[in-house]
Structures are given as C-alpha cells and as structure tokens.
A and B are shown apart, each in its own frame.
Chain A
C-alpha cells in the first residue's frame, strides 16, 4: 500500500483506492473506451452515469478482469492488476447488471459462491450464521438459506446477489444497476447496506440510470459518454439538468430544431391494443396507433417497456388481451404467427438474433421472405438478388457488399441488414428493439430517414429505446412506461426531452402536467 508523500504545501493528497490511467478498449473497429482516466477516493460512494453504450459496462468488465484492455493500467490500493485475469474479489467485487445467480444452488451457496475465504471444504455450518444475519439485514429474513435460488423472485435474487457482494468485504464494491427490480422499501435497505459498508471503509461505485437515487446516495458522480469520461463532480455541486446534459451531450432544448416531426394529423387507426398485458411484467394497457405513425415506447430497465414490443412481436406466448391490426383481431403467440399477420421484428441482440453473421448480406435480407422467391421448392436466385438489391439500396447498403458475410460489416451496416431483413416482409407493423444501439452517427441518420420514409407509406413503426436522442429524432409519439404501467403518452412535436426524461425517471406526475 503505497502512501503518497505529502506535498510541499502540507495539503494531504487523498490516497486513491483506484487509479485507472489511459484505459482504452477496442473491439476490432469499434472503440468502446477512449483513453479513460478514472480514480476513486477511499471510503466514497461514487456514482457512474451514462447512456447505454457510453462505456460504463466495458469499464466494469475490465475492472473485474473479465476483459483485457487494449491499453492502459489499473492500480487498486497500490497493487497493479494483471490485465485479463479475474480480479481478486477481495479487491474489487462486482454485482453485475445481469444476475449471476445459479438457480440450482441454494441461497447460501449463491451468497458464498466464489468467496475465497471459504476454501475447498465447504462446511455449511461455519458460514450459515453470518449469511443468515446479512440476509436478515437486507430484508430477506423470510428466505430460507437452504432453498434453491430458483424459487426466489427476481427482486429477491437481486438482493441475494448484492448480499454476496457485500459479504465479500471487498475494498471496492461495484453495483451495476442494482435497483432495477426493487421496490422503494428494498432500495432503501440496499442503500443502508451500502452506507454501512462505506462506514466500514469500503469504497462503492454505484452505476445507475436512476438519477434521484444517484443524488441520494453518492458523494461524487462521474459521467461517461461515447466511451469517454466527461466529468467528475461532487454530487452536492450538481443539478439534475446538468447531469442529464452531461450524459446526453447536447443542449436538450436545441435538439428541437433538428428533428422533423410530422404535425399532428388525424390518422385512421391501424393498430389497437386492448387490455394488453404480460402478467407479472406489465399491466394491461390500451393503445391506438395510427397509420404511418412512429411510436417510441420508453422506460427504465425493469419497467416492462421493452416487453411491450417483444410481446407484440410474438415473443411472449402468455400475453393476455387483444391485438387488432387493420381492424382484425390477430394472435401473436409466436414470431411465425406475428410474421404471418404482417408484424415484423428487429431484435435488440443483432449478433445473436437479428442477423446470421456467417451468411451473406443477400441471404440475410431474404431470410424471412424465402417463400416469395421460391418456385416448386427451388430458390429463384435472380429474383432473390433483385429483392435484396432493392432493399439494400433503400438502406444505403453498398450493393457490392451483398455477397459479403455480415460478420465483416460494421455495426451500423449490420443493423441496416437486420432492419432490411424485417422490411423485406413488407410488414404492416415494424417493431424494433433498440434500433440503433452500437451504430455510428452516419448509419443512424440513414436508418431514421428510411424508417420515416417507410412510415409515410402507411407502415406503423413501434420501437423501444433507452436513447432519448433517438426518441426525439425518430418518433412522432412517445409512450412512457413506469413500473409496468403507462404514465405518459406524448406527441413529440409538443414535448421536450426533459419532459420525457422526467416521465421515465419519476413516473406519474400530477394530472395538470400531463400533455394531451
């Protein structure tokens, strides 16, 4: 543990518990982190904010040793970390955004998993009492430590995972979106646990989109944007507006001039949702979408907003309620069924579900419409080529790239292929989940332009996004979901992004503040 020498002026330089210098991470052509310097003071609760894709998760993965940086070094409490090797959980312990609960192990086993204190011989008795106490404190007194983790609710599992992080007694504990599924009560308990840890000398990093919580809990806040660290400020010196602006990057008000919004026109209803709900995930909602309307569905992680889109696409077999397209009741119990009714879907995970990386662009684009380019079972290559070419040109994909494998394209082009693939169906309703995640500005603009052009032909476009910019640039209308219920339905021409952000973060407002 290197103690920094006192400076000449006699002022004490705070000994940094974490010192990240010149960290850079590139995945092929995509730069996730651009030369980041980051430091933590011991005993502070440090907030980390930024939009999706800003670089927070990459930083966390590198700190945890799950990913090796392309450049740069990390020093924890005087010890340099070996890149690419799993960091000693006693130095840095991470509670990830995606739960790493093992459903088939007991709660006790889950809490103690990976704990180096435990040793090879794993005698339950030795740790049972301590685990019991920790669980009681965090609000899981009703949970039996021997029951399989599978039986717990999502929120309970999240609390178990936080308990695991807390029990490790690490020097630095990183909590990545820990409160997504928790109730207010549970959130307060987590905060109490965090404060207790801080009092014991640990340093906490709190990553969250939920700005009120950031303001409540943290001492300092660092903002990331586009892979760079934008600022580090003492929380007390910061206002919500300033924080939002730092995260988004532009003056929110100025954005109004950039986007084109179609003026409110009377549109015949094309899609109607009646009492539409996925039990346990979001409450029944009624929605009417007009012909050619572009609707953004937004909400925080855990709000259920993304599930609205997924359910419409046919990915939630167990939905209840009615979907009506062009006046006819349709069932979307599977993606095949949805496609049959003219509902096409572009998933969020484009590498996993959106495109076939090892297949050519042409093959990808014609995937869903093979029946239209087949005769007597045989593919009509000429016709398929023509269609692919047409769709590629719509989305400004270089026709010379048609025979290339999609894995060789940039993220932006891959996404264009994914969207072209769905549009090939000539759908009545086009659904997109995070339409431009990981896509460069140029491709983004092209995609927006094309989607708007498609909407003009009468296609209904509904998309889920966590990018406020995107709502503003693309959508005519934005529906906000908060904790499973619709809390706002605004026309983009008349709403500012501040309003939308407020809806997302705070939920229901007074009736008088609600726009028509």
Chain B
C-alpha cells in the first residue's frame, strides 16, 4: 500500500535533483579550495558562456534521450550551422541564423522520419546524419576556417548582462524554460515521456509516437543549429572542427543530469544541473592548468563512469535493492491476500 505520507521525498525526481544540486555545490567547493578565488565574476561569466553552448546542445540531445532515442549528430550540426551562418549571413547575421536553424529543422525531420518510418534505431540513422554533416561541413568551408568581419553581432551576443550573463546565455536559459513548459504543460511532452518510458505500450495507451519523435529530433537539431550559429557569430569564425567534443560532453551532462539512456526519465531542470556540473568540472580543470587533452581525458572518464552506472548491471542491482525494500514494506503492512 502506498501512502501520501512521504509526499515530498517520494518525488523520486525531486530527491535526485537535490542530490545533483548538492553535487554541483561540492564540485564548486572543491575547486574553490584548489584554486583560490575560483568563484569570481569573470569565472562565473565564463561558466555561463560555456552553458550557452553546451546547455543548448545538451537540452536538445536529452530530449531525444527521454524519448528513448539518441541524436548522435548534434556535434556535427553545430559545426555545419556555424558555417552556414557565416557563409550566408553577410551583413545580417539574423538571416544566417535563420537559415542555419531552418536547416536544422529539416535535418531533424529527416532523422525522425527515417527512424519512425523504417523503424531503424535512431543511433544508426543519426550516425549516417553525423557522417553526412561532417562531410558537408568540410564542403561548405572548403576545408578551411570561415570568418566574418561582423564583430558587432558577436559583441552584442556576448556583452555581459548583469555582470555574469549575456544574450547568448540568457537565450539558453529561455530554451530551457520553453522545454520545461513543453514537458510539463503540453500533451506532446507527456507523449514524449511515454514514448521513451514504455515504447511497446505507449501507442496502446494513446501516446502519439510519430509526433513525439518529430518533436524531439527537430528540437535537438534545431537547438544544436541555433547554438552553433550563435557561437560562430560570437567567435566570428566557423570551422568543421567546431563542436568536436560537444556530443561527448552533452551525453555526459545529460546522463549526469539524470536522463537515462533507456528513456522516459529526466527533465530540463536536472539537465541544467548536469550541464553546470560538467562545465564547472571542465572550467575548473582548465583554471588549474590542465590542457585541452587532459580535459578530454577527464570527460571521457566521466562519461564512462556515468554510462556504466546507467547500464544494465547497475540497474539490475538497483532494482534488486528496490524490490528488497518493497518486500520489507509489504511485509510490514499486512498483505492484501
């Protein structure tokens, strides 16, 4: 028998969100100790800037994960979007960004269409997309770095607002807010969770599979495109190398943020915390003098750890623990029959 008593803590999401927030605080604490004056205005600004890119990409990726899929092409999309923006932007960067995002939406629809129509795992479809986009990136840029003279747009995007934010990072926060509303207040959001939670019965339960997949892949590609476009404007350069390790980091951040690879679990708040945890980790390591390779190495370790914890063995152990506790609970309250 379940009771209303443990109302607050039984919100499983809530409990683990607290744990994650706690983890973030711990990491901040550790780095503050290791690197004095770690938490200063500039560092926080830098953190927010990292969030602007990583957060947006992770948000999109995590949505596909919640639906039980995985968009491997987010990293390549960032690169292509940046290149499209600068190539087509010219004097008006907005045009460039719109083109990039439009392209992202189309790619997202293609991903969704092939996945659901042919019932092929999205892991396979997005590998193909990723490869195609990589090729496209080299083709657009002619293998070289593309740059623009339009510094003003970049400066506008990165101008500090209230000291630590910028237009870019605020946009990322807005994206999170939008996705939060989608998941909480719309039927589409529920369908997405159902699609990822128990795919086989979701249709029988009334969830709309095709629409759910379309939504998540379009948002994923679209957000990656937007993020890529903005970072290119900000850096005034775009290259095929842009976002090289983004997919890896986004996957880590998402899983750290409580999104399960199996689907159905996780939400924007957790993802946000996960992104900040990873960004703080990376920025902290850099502040301590670690070079890019060391950070890459560390990121790999982190991803390996979380993917193992998210794996079958760990889940089986957790399930047995839960069963054990449930049985104790049942034994305590006299059984129905």
Residues of A participating in the B interface, judged by any CB pair closer than 8 Å: 64, 66, 86, 89, 94, 96, 98-105, 109-110, 113-115, 118-123, 142-144, 146-148, 150-153, 155-156, 183, 279-280, 318, 483-484
Contact = CB atoms under 8 A, between A and B. Distances in A.
Interface of B: 1-4, 7, 10-12, 185-190, 193-194, 196-198, 201-207, 264-265, 320, 323, 327, 330, 336-337
B194 A105 contact: yes
Contact of B12 (A100, A121, A148): A148
A25 to B, nearest CB: 18
Contacts of B196: 104
B337 A109 contact: no
B185 A102 contact: no
Contacts of B330: 280
A102 B336 contact: no
Contacts of A142: 1-4
Contact of B190 (A86, A122, A183): A122
A101 B205 CA distance: 7
Contacts of B194: 102, 105, 113
A69 B48 CA distance: 57
A102 B2 contact: no
B204 A96 contact: yes
B229 to A, nearest CB: 29
Contacts of B1: 142, 153
A147 B10 contact: yes
Contact of B207 (A113, A148, A155, A483): A113
A120 B2 contact: no
Contacts of A146: 11
B190 A105 contact: yes
Chain B binding surface, main DSSP class? helix
Most buried by A among B194, B201, B202, B207: B194
Given A142-B1, A156-B2, A113 B206 contact: yes
Contacts of A279: 327
A115 B206 contact: yes
20 contacts: A94-B204, A100-B201, A100-B202, A100-B205, A101-B205, A102-B201, A102-B207, A103-B198, A104-B265, A105-B193, A110-B205, A121-B186, A122-B189, A142-B1, A142-B4, A152-B2, A183-B336, A279-B327, A280-B327, A484-B337
A433 to B, nearest CB: 20
Given A113-B194, A119-B187, A122-B185, 12 more contacts: A89-B206, A100-B205, A101-B198, A101-B205, A102-B264, A103-B198, A104-B193, A122-B186, A123-B185, A144-B2, A144-B7, A152-B2
A280 B264 CA distance: 27
B198 A100 contact: yes
A350 B265 CA distance: 31
A102 B2 CA distance: 18
Contacts of B265: 104
Most buried by A among B206, B323, B336: B206
Most buried by A among B2, B4, B12, B189: B2
A142 B1 CA distance: 8
B198 A102 contact: yes
Most buried by A among B1, B11, B197: B197
Contacts of B203: 66, 86
Contact of A109 (B188, B190, B202, B320): B190
Nearest to B189: A122
A15 to B, nearest CB: 28
Contacts of A102: 193-194, 197-198, 201-202, 205, 207, 264
Most buried by B among A96, A105, A183: A105
Contacts of A156: 2
A103 B185 contact: no
A143 B198 CA distance: 22
A110 B206 CA distance: 10
B187 A118 contact: yes
Given A103-B264, A183-B337, A151 B323 contact: no
B2 A147 contact: yes
Nearest to A86: B203
Nearest to B204: A100
